[in-house]
Amino acid sequence: MTSRFTDRTALVTGAGSGIGRAVALAFAAEGANVVVAGRRREPLDETVALIEAAGGKALAVTADVARAADVQTVVDAAVERFGSLDVAVNNAGVFRGGEPLADLAEDDWRTQLDINVTGVFLALRAEVRQMRSQPSGGAIVNIASTFGMHKRQPGATAYAATKAAVSVLTRGAALDHIAEGVRINAVSPGATDTQMSLQPGETEAGRAERMKSEVPLGRVAAVEEVAAAVLYLASDDAASVVGTELVVDSGQTA
């Protein structure tokens, strides 16, 4: 097994489920100490248990990424427990909507902005401040989406606006901080095998049938496939990759 992250500390937000959990497990499998963050304790503890059962080291910290103090607590906990913050993956995100924009509740608009945009800004800010203070710097990967810069879809306009913002935050922040030793990129998944890609009332079998016509590859991406892209961008293999977005979407935006 390769161990690209031995003795490095990786922080993953939204790591109690879906893509975030897969990313956390993948970092641990490659030697990283992993700090997992999210609002609910129980799923984070499950992620830690999975990592520890496989012989890895992990720490769960409950945090709402929309709150600056919470995000700072996570970064501080990573440094206190493991000595540095080398990698951060800003994955926490939510989808609210399904209806046309004019029918979207203001609360749903604000929630998505708070978590998907302000949450990424607050996390980036705290992470960069820590990483630029370290001689070894660090690498950050934001999880954007093909719904955003790459593609729009009826009923997902507000979500797409927040994810386009993540793409722009990624590129701008990458330029702002690369000279300080902090390398920032994004992964933009398309439909991926989590709850988020299920339409209301849809079963996994129903989604599989829908994917045959909607997606050139004919299926959703596995969470492990998205994680592999994240680990590449966070690794030294990508040392000269700065401010880019790796699209993992089974060909949907080809």
Using CB under 6 A as the binding rule, whether residue 9 contacts ligand NAP is answered as: no
Site string for ligand NAP, 160-199 (x = CB under 6 A): -----------------------------x-xx-xxxx--
Q: Is 232 a catalytic residue?
A: no
C-beta closer to ligand NAP: residue 96 or 177: 96
Centre a 10 Å sphere on the Cβ of residue 199 and count the other Cβ atoms it contains: 11
220: DSSP letter: P
Find the shortest distance in angstroms from Cβ 109 to ligand NAP: 15
Find the shortest distance in angstroms from Cβ 135 to ligand NAP: 30
Q: Count Cβ atoms within 10 A of the Cβ of residue 247 and give its class: 0-12 exposed, 13-18 middle, 19 or more buried.
A: buried
Using CB under 6 A as the binding rule, whether residue 64 contacts ligand NAP is answered as: yes
Using CB under 6 A as the binding rule, whether residue 17 contacts ligand NAP is answered as: yes
* Given the residues 60, 159, 193, 233, the one annotated as active site: 159
* H or E element, residue 209: helix 204-214
Using CB under 6 A as the binding rule, whether residue 11 contacts ligand NAP is answered as: no
Find the shortest distance in angstroms from Cβ 132 to ligand NAP: 24
Find the shortest distance in angstroms from Cβ 69 to ligand NAP: 13
Centre a 10 Å sphere on the Cβ of residue 206 and count the other Cβ atoms it contains: 12
Contacts of 20-24 with CB under 8 Å at 24 or more apart are: 20/89, 20/91, 20/92, 21/47, 21/50, 21/223, 22/223, 22/224, 22/226, 22/227, 23/89, 23/91, 23/226, 23/227, 23/230, 23/231, 24/51, 24/58
Catalytic residue positions, numbered = 159
Interacting residues with ligand NAP (CB under 6 A): 13-14, 16-20, 38-40, 43, 63-66, 91-94, 115, 119, 143, 145, 189, 191-192, 194-197
